[in-house]
Chain A
Amino acid sequence: MATSAVPKARPWHVVPGAAQLSGAYAWARRYPLLPGTVLMFLLIIPAIFANQIAPHDHRIGDLKAVKLPPAWVGPKIVERTVVERQGRVARQNEITLSAAKRRIERGQATFISGGADGQVDLGDKLDVVVRGGGTWKYVLGTDKQGRDVLSRIIHGSRISLTVSTLAIVLGGGLGTVLGLLAAYRGGFVDTIIMRIVDIKLAFPSILLALVLVAAWKPGFMTVVIVIAVLLWARYARVVRGEALSIKHKDFIDRARVAGASDLRIMFRHIFPNLINTLIVLATLEVGHVIILESTLSFLGAGIPRPTPAWGVMVADGRELITSAWWIFLFPTLAIVMTVLSMNLLGDWMRDKLDPKLRNV
């Protein structure tokens, strides 16, 4: 009663479900241009034109520019006192005489006190550059082998894009065929397929993926196949449900009366009606696949080095998190932003094309 008294005004551009959202998220969902654009820049354009865009070679690093910070980060300068410690490592905020001389020669240290005679003496205080500043040559810095982080991220997008496309085509294809088969044949075939789906869905996916990766040898195609194996069950379930609801419609009966074969009915008559659903499901899954792939790579069970998969880059950066944060942070952000954009895009497509998938 209360609600009927208040007709809900819904401007044409408001997608259903977005009405109760507010702020940036609602905005982003109403205008998917933003996630779409972020996605184009982050994933698709770099993936296609990686060789043209990437400023440096992603495989061979510059060993003279190891662990350089991003361009906007200045050098790290620490005050140190010159001490004489033969054969021992200097304590924090101390520097040995010989090291200090070397640093001064290279211009990596300046005097704070002493040094009037141009010589380094014990007890002098120096400003020592412990880490060089960033340069615009390597905008996002370099890793421990001197490879450009930006170039590696750009090439990494290629991996994410190809893995997710292939895995979804493969897993989605398998799931669609099995789902159609289950719906169309029914009975025993249906029972068997759906039981397998249930078992598959009850199994923690990372664990299953790890076991499967270990069964073959880690590599690009292994990752694609393993992710496809993780994906098919959901497609099978959704496709089966959809196909069952279509199966009993008049036009299917008419096709059957006209003498169409089972195969023809399944692919010429039922399948076209599922395309919207499949597109939405695929978009919704891309984020999921990128998360799976990067997690496997991060755990060392995905794309092997030296391929610049984002997950591998993050794993490399993890070891250096205390000294060189940019090595882990930028690929991490690339993953999060891509998945975020993909999810927003998927939500939007679902609302546009197939709102009944809301709870899948």
Chain B
Amino acid sequence: MTTAQKSVAENPIILEVNDLRTYFFNRTSTVKAVDGISFNLRQGETLGIVGESGCGKTITALSLLRLVPKPAGRIIDGQILLNGEDLLQKTEDEMRQVRGRQISMILQDPQTSLNPVFTIGNQVREALGMARKDSSKGMRTRAVEALRKVNVAAPERRLEDYPHQMSGGMKQRVVGAIAMSCEPGLIIADEPTTDLDVTIQLQYLRLLKDIQQNTGLAIIFITHDFGVVARMCDRVAVMYAGRIVEHGTVRELFNNPSHPYTQALMASVPKLEERVDRLYSIEGQPPLLSNLPEGCRFEDRCPYAREQCISEYPPHFNVEADHTADCWKLDPTW
């Protein structure tokens, strides 16, 4: 693991996100779903983005593909540098060349991610066809190949099936095959395993990991499950109310969670070795993204909150060389 990590840390940076802001403009309010986040990703690296539902994880992912729901949602500021090119400067046509070919995404719900009225073969071939035109026979072979890569049994026969004839795990593999069919450099996996059985989940995660090892794919793994993070990721970003509040290597973050929110999240994961009488849960609700406080966004749920937390949002404090957290507690003057 350490050797793998080292080699990853030397790989070139393929994605750099700077101060990304995606807001939703409603008639009565502005929802700051993603409010100034920055991170980067190296080739072959896996970044986990963790947070509660509604903290802006999925919107972050959709922003990277420039597929924020229109017309309410808009990326209003920031940079998304993919191999040095800013995606936010591209035209819609150029952006389409990026989607599927350079960045792809696996959606959360395999049950609804496949179009019910077309066969599996049709949908896989369509994804393949985006990269290059081919004869229909060649296309078929490549579709079979794509399905085989994600361990779909008897892929030749599966091509003529409709999605409703497949199991959930199988569908999620097909979605994976579609996402990887054009060999993109980066895949965003948005909670791809939440709707699957535990055993299927493990198989699926192992499959992703294998493919990554073979292809040098970078993965952004969106989840709320620290167990999955520990198994899959090299680095983690913890999101809360539209911002990344803590960011570091998996080892660092697990050993030394420094933001009170991360600490609370980790405490809420039940551990086998400890017998607990009550499951830990965080008091209160995250703030409305349409009505964010001036200061720290975790302030009203935080056991350590002070005056300063209410008035001013904390900067990134370095915990270690590769580990930052946004919390005044880390300020030496605290």
Interface residues in chain A, defined as those with a beta carbon under 8 Å from any beta carbon in chain B:
1-2, 4-9, 11
Contacts and interface: CB of A to CB of B under 8 A. Distances in A.
Nearest to B53: A4
B28 A7 contact: no
B26 A9 contact: yes
Given A1-B53, A1-B58, A6 B31 contact: yes
21 contacts: A1-B53, A1-B57, A1-B108, A1-B190, A1-B191, A2-B62, A2-B69, A4-B53, A5-B53, A5-B54, A5-B55, A5-B57, A6-B33, A6-B59, A6-B289, A7-B31, A7-B54, A7-B288, A9-B26, A9-B29, A11-B28
Contacts of B191: 1
A297 to B, nearest CB: 44
Given A5-B31, A5-B58, A7-B31, 18 more contacts: A1-B57, A1-B58, A1-B108, A1-B191, A2-B59, A4-B53, A4-B54, A5-B54, A5-B55, A5-B59, A5-B289, A6-B24, A6-B59, A6-B73, A7-B289, A8-B26, A9-B28, A9-B29
B72 interface: yes
Contact of A5 (B26, B28, B29, B56): B56
B18 interface: no
Contacts of A8: 26
Contact of B33 (A5, A9, A11): A5
Given A1-B190, A11-B28, A6 B72 contact: yes
Interface string B34-70: 0000000000000000000111111100100000010
A4 B29 CA distance: 16
Interface string B259-275: 00000000000000000
A11 B73 CA distance: 20
Contacts of B26: 8-9
Contacts of A11: 28
B290 interface: yes
Contacts of A1: 53, 57-58, 108, 190-191
Contacts of A4: 53-54
A216 B289 CA distance: 67
Nearest to B222: A1
A7 B190 contact: no
Contacts of A7: 31, 54, 288-290
Interface string B152-192: 00000000000000000000000000000000000000110
Nearest to A22: B27
A11 B26 CA distance: 12
Interface of B: 24, 26, 28-29, 31, 33, 53-59, 62, 69, 72-73, 108, 190-191, 288-290
Contacts of B288: 7
Contacts of B62: 2
7 pairs of A and B residues whose beta carbons are closest in the complex: A1-B58, A4-B54, A9-B29, A5-B54, A6-B24, A5-B33, A6-B31
A35 to B, nearest CB: 22
B306 to A, nearest CB: 28
B290 A9 contact: yes
A98 B69 CA distance: 77
Contacts of A6: 24, 31, 33, 59, 72-73, 289
Contacts of B54: 4-5, 7
A79 to B, nearest CB: 57
Nearest to B68: A2
A5 B28 CA distance: 16
A81 B56 CA distance: 82
B143 to A, nearest CB: 29
Nearest to A4: B54
A92 to B, nearest CB: 56
B66 to A, nearest CB: 14
A13 B169 CA distance: 45
B230 to A, nearest CB: 22
Contacts of A9: 26, 28-29, 290
B243 to A, nearest CB: 13
A4 B57 CA distance: 11
Nearest to A11: B28
B219 to A, nearest CB: 18
A6 B288 CA distance: 9
Contact of A2 (B55, B58, B289, B290): B58
A11 B290 CA distance: 14
Nearest to A3: B69
Contacts of B56: 5
A4 B109 CA distance: 15
Nearest to B288: A7
Contacts of B72: 6
Interface centre among A2, A5, A7 (most CB of B within 10 A): A5
A8 B53 CA distance: 15
A5 B23 CA distance: 11
A9 to B, nearest CB: 5
Nearest to B22: A5
B49 to A, nearest CB: 12
B138 to A, nearest CB: 36
A8 B24 CA distance: 10
A5 B57 CA distance: 8
A8 B289 CA distance: 10
B277 to A, nearest CB: 31
Nearest to B194: A1
Nearest to B190: A1
B2 to A, nearest CB: 34
A7 to B, nearest CB: 6
B23 to A, nearest CB: 10
A11 B29 CA distance: 11
A120 B29 CA distance: 77
A7 B290 CA distance: 8
B185 to A, nearest CB: 24
